[in-house]
Structure 1
């Protein structure tokens, strides 16, 4: 068939798609690195210039501008042209607006602009700087789409528009997202680059701190350097909020700035949704009080007693009040898309300005020389005015007069024609002086322009002068604050600091209960149990800690685990809790918890002091235990057959008391044990006779001579003895008698430091749990056997005893 040519469809589709993609990339979606304009934006600006819509002229209907752009330069839909023009006039999208709007140009809430037949527009002064000198052949022109007129391929752009206003757009297979910047900072950076072409990024960042969004906010410093070094990075951006107290005494959060390009209505909807989902439960009211005076004012009112910092962190975590801005500095460079670092983007702009200023200077020089040439002829004619008039009067035609002047006075055709066109009033003497003055000024101008074109230093001096002028006329203060913002909101930032009662049982069950639950019950009068336990189980520890504290679990095999208290299962007073092995999966089957401690952090002063069954004592700084993992960490190295029996936190001035099963006790200053590394064995604290072992460690303040040590034996005998009865000696001795161990008493089970207001929990081998007040145990001497604390049944004995805080003392 004639006119039909078979082609490979794969090749055809590939070729056509590549052509389409490049057309979208170059001619639609991406800005030019030189003027920061996409084609439609450039055409809008040029059309407004052609229509005379300068900043000092009346506004014109937007529809007329859109029609002119579509008719002459941009044969696409009018809605896309109008949308582009509207964006150029929205202060919350453009750091320095290029269109001065009149009428409804939309809002931060996502409201659409009014129809183009209602709104009006004109250029801003910054836009005029982008178009300045266009008439001086500073840029190339190209035919428009139907070749009925021409349009500029790029605008002269005396301002670094790409960097100060940024850009965003989606092309084919790529997208650009360039943040706006502060004009003053960018101009200072450009001036520094001109002075030092080898400037480093660190030096540049002393001038350019980071992006500067029109909506303000706070930008995390982390990420900015990567964005400037590579042209691509992610930035964390937060809205600006403050916590204050309202007139009714409630705490409220006032949001006055939001992240760039965030729809304010969407933020309000998200906050409401997070409240309903229980993510931010402490909100009592949410209002949008934005107006002309305060474009952004969102009031988040909190419930009574709520913590403002906690709710603010929740807003950052769960709403767009903290968001990410992905920098992709992609622009068109010499007809191709390229991702550029900051300094390279600046260099291309300066190269463009160098070309523009060179072409403008050459244009001005040509015009000055042309005018000087005409003036030279006029002045020569005025010097021979009578002869010139006679020659003209004697000529029959204008051509004859022109030729006569050229021959008689050696003039060019242009000069001769200018003389013929001169009005008679210019023959007066004052006009001769004015023309001579103009000629002299032009001579100086020509000399200056020739110097600029002949000396690159002078050319760059001119560019620097213009940059300073732009900076001084349009520069302003930063709106966005660059801060050492943490990269992310951690789990801890979302949890209130509250006091919790931590309860652990001998069987290994653990729970946390809000302290208020205990205090409310105390006010109610009658006491209540701390949990429903099996008859053979008992609480081995009850203490108060903050939700943000760490709970440390030391095992009998010398390892340590940790959990944040807020990660422990929260349960009511009557609940049993969760077994420790479910919380610590790294715990071995043959491993048991020997001691549990609470610390606020690992940077606090003090040391952990360890005691083992074999009489070894060890001290290590708390800071040595900051890197505990879920698999556990070696807390102390143990000899084979030895076990860890106790750990405590030791401060300066504490004494250590070690007690053995055979009733011996050794008291010595804790400072006699020097701090060693975490994975060390320790030193001898007490020497043991054959068959003996350490069962307890107690810490007592060295000046607490009136304090007491509580001893309990296997067969239920107990006593309290003054600390002063235990002489402080050097470590490593056999100690002194703390309990007269006989067949009646049985072996020593525990020795603990008490204040007298605790409860004593006693567990027997057959599972009996007995609870009594420590103050009911008699005070006796060190060598005494004690008195009956509990009655032990036949073939039963005490296997553990320990004082705990009474619940009514919490």
Structure 2
């Protein structure tokens, strides 16, 4: 009961854990009943029933009309029948205070190199892994010695087989085994072990040896020896063996947790203290990050300059800006193909004009690594996918469940080759269609099932054929019968909405259709998103200017047009990020 005591015990090696019986409350004709189905560790059932009966007799537990033990070979079932007039909550609380809960002290005391130490869970696991490393190393050394000895004997057999007649004659003409061994070593350069093995063989078997079988066994041994040497010489290979063996044990012995971990009554988590609200999170090249409530940015008309969205140091630029809700889990994908996770509320809340705080404590990004896509999730479904696209047009779908457990240092999201970079990520559900847009204004739409599901370490397949000098700008997911619009915005602040019906589905790896003109005033495409009239657009420039406008303010026109001014961007500036969000009050409506 309660996560904090368990966390403390895991972190420090000491703690006190409260354990509670598992029970349910059933409604009966004559009153409720409390049914116990599991008891705390080391709790004796007979003594527990006796204690409850004593409490009733002594008047310390009112409202109980019957108590019986219905346990059988299928499990524990202790039934406490309550009177119609009994307050079930009061009886339940009195039982919890007296007999249904026990407290256990935790002391993770272990001998480490002969010395007693109290260890955290992490330290325990590290010592266990060190032990497994030593076991695998010693086992591999032992197996290697045996394999090399056997290979040495087989080499002798093959040598004897090649000189069978002379070997047999020498053995027959020798006075005894010792003389035969000495002769074999002198005449045929056998080692002592090989000579010993040969003289122990029947002469008839020596001439009837099957060369093919010996050579096959010898080749297998050489491969085995090479594998064992690799394990002993390569730390990564040794760790891989440990991991594979642990996975085998997991597959054979893993089962569901028998003891449930529940929140303590009145236990408050961080999330309980954070209001659920729309926020904007920004990140700069110098790794300043902050969270600002969306209420700080009022909606404006299309074509305005907007307001200051963040304070930047000289030479710094906005690298990412995205909308989320405070309770969202954020999957943060980088151009290097890595993904990190954090809760939106973990980003410090600051004012609109604040610079932000260093992101180093939240995101362990390498030098030169930049966020390119952030996926806000509440719950991950088994049928969902993370669909990714790279700058060179490669697209990949990976089951979302592969991103449930992410290390603080991040994990790989996709394999990249050469100078390719991860550009954008969308959640899909095996029934979506994908729209990929390019910097030069082209777009292609195709079924996501044209891209087979792949693991995190796969590269993907080509999603769009790019013309010379073109690159992918982004990806968005739509439904086959989607009646929404595709919003395309360029880095100079121009954009448009176009009905998705104008983008006919094609086969993957085509050149796509012309979406927006990018010559002269428009510049390159910055982003494309699927939108509805109820949505709002947040646009932010590299120098921190921000505008929020309703999507309905952006003109709805056809493909292959220039669009209209969405946000004024100075000549020395350019659009850095565009995010779409639907206000919570709009969803309620």
Q: TM-score if structure 2 supplies the norm length?
A: 0.51
Q: In the comparison of the two structures, how many residue pairs are matched? A: 355
Superimposed CA distance per residue, residues 266-314 of structure 1 (whole angstroms, 9 cap, x where no aligned partner) = xxxxxxxxxxxxxxxxxxxxxxxxxxxxxxxxxxxxxxxxxxxxxxxxx
Aligned to 2:384: 606
Task: State whether structure 2 residue 373 is matched by structure 1 residue 595.
Answer: yes
Q: 1:693 to 1:628 in 2, by over 3 A?
A: same
Q: Which has the higher contact order (CA 8 A, sep 6+)?
A: 2
Alignment of 1:181-330 (within 5 A): 181-182=45-46, 255-258=93-96, 323-324=103-104
Pick the aligned partner of 1:559 from 327, 335, 338.
338
- Distance in 2 (CA, whole Å) between partners of 1:634 and 1:534 is 32
Q: Compared with structure 1, are the counterparts of its residues 668 and 323 closer, same or farther at alpha carbon in structure 2 (3 Å cutoff)?
A: same
1:624 maps onto 2:402 in alignment: yes
Cα offsets for 1:406-430 (capped at 9, x unmatched): xxxxxxxxxxxxxxxxxxxxxxxxx
Deviations 1:32-54 (A, max 9, x none): xxxxxxxxxxxxxxxxxxxxxxx
The structure-2 alpha-carbon separation of the partners of 1:791 and 1:493, relative to structure 1 and needing over 3 Å to count, comes to: same
Give the 3 Å change call, closer, same or farther, for CA 754–506 of structure 1 in structure 2: farther
Q: Partner residue of 2:471?
A: 693
CA offset at residue 617 of structure 1? 0.6
**Which of structure 1's runs of 4+ aligned residues deviate more than 6 A?**
183-186, 205-210, 490-493, 512-515, 529-532, 571-576
Q: Does residue 543 of structure 1 match 2:324?
A: yes
Equivalent residue number for residue 247 of structure 2: none
Match of 2:311 among 534, 537, 541: 534
Match for residue 786 of structure 1 among 558, 563, 569? 563
1:742 maps to which of 519, 533, 536: 519
Q: Which of these residues, 512, 529, 537, is aligned with residue 752 of structure 1?
A: 529
Q: 1:716 to 1:511 in 2, by over 3 A?
A: closer
Q: Structure 1, residues 72-115: CA drift from partner, whole Å, max 9, x if none?
A: xxxxxxxxxxxxxxxxxxxxxxxxxxxxxxxxxxxxxxxxxxxx
Instruction: Name the residue aligned to 2:57.
Output: none
- Structure 1 residue 504: deviation in Å? 0.9
Seen in structure 2, the aligned counterparts of structure 1 residues 256 and 734 have a Cα distance that, compared at 3 Å, is same
- 8 Å Cα contact 1:185-1:208 kept in structure 2: no
Task: Tell me, yes or no, if structure 1 residue 581 matches structure 2 residue 360.
Answer: yes
Matched-pair contact (CA < 8 Å) for 2:382–2:399: no
CA offset digits 1:714-743 (Å, max 9, x no partner): 333221111111111011001110012222
Query: Structure 1, residues 171-210: CA drift from partner, whole Å, max 9, x if none?
Result: xxxxxx9865517999xxxxxxxxxxxxxxxxxx977979
Structure having the higher strand fraction is: 2
> Is 1:671 the equivalent of 2:449?
yes
Q: Residues 710, 325 of structure 1: CA spacing in aligned structure 2 closer, same or farther, 3 A cutoff?
A: closer
Cα offsets for 1:50-75 (capped at 9, x unmatched): xxxxxxxxxxxxxxxxxxxxxxxxxx
Query: What secondary structure does 1:182 align onto?
Result: helix
- CA drift of 1:627 comes to 2.6
Aligned-residue offset at 1:563:
2.4
Q: 2:333·2:339 contact (CA, 8 Å) conserved in 1?
A: yes
Instruction: Call closer, same or farther: CA 1:253–1:614 in 2, change over 3 Å.
Output: farther
State the partner residue of 2:508: 731
Whether the aligned pair in 2 keeps the contact of 1:543 and 1:805 (CA below 8 Å) is no
Which has more radius of gyration?
1
The alpha-carbon deviation at position 688 of structure 1 amounts to 0.7
Structure 2: segments with no counterpart, 5+ residues? 1-40, 51-70, 81-86, 108-256, 300-305
* CA RMSD, 1 decimal: 4.4
Q: Normalized against structure 1, the TM-score is what? A: 0.38
Contact 1:538 1:763 in 2 (8 A): no
In structure 1, stretches of 5+ residues that fail to align are 1-176, 187-204, 217-241, 245-251, 263-320, 328-482, 523-528
In structure 2, the CA distance between the partners of 1:492 and 1:703, relative to structure 1 (3 Å rule), is farther
Q: Against the structure 1 CA distance between its residues 642 and 787, is the aligned structure 2 distance closer, same or farther, given a 3 Å change threshold?
A: same
Q: 1:491, 1:569 → 2: CA distance?
A: 28
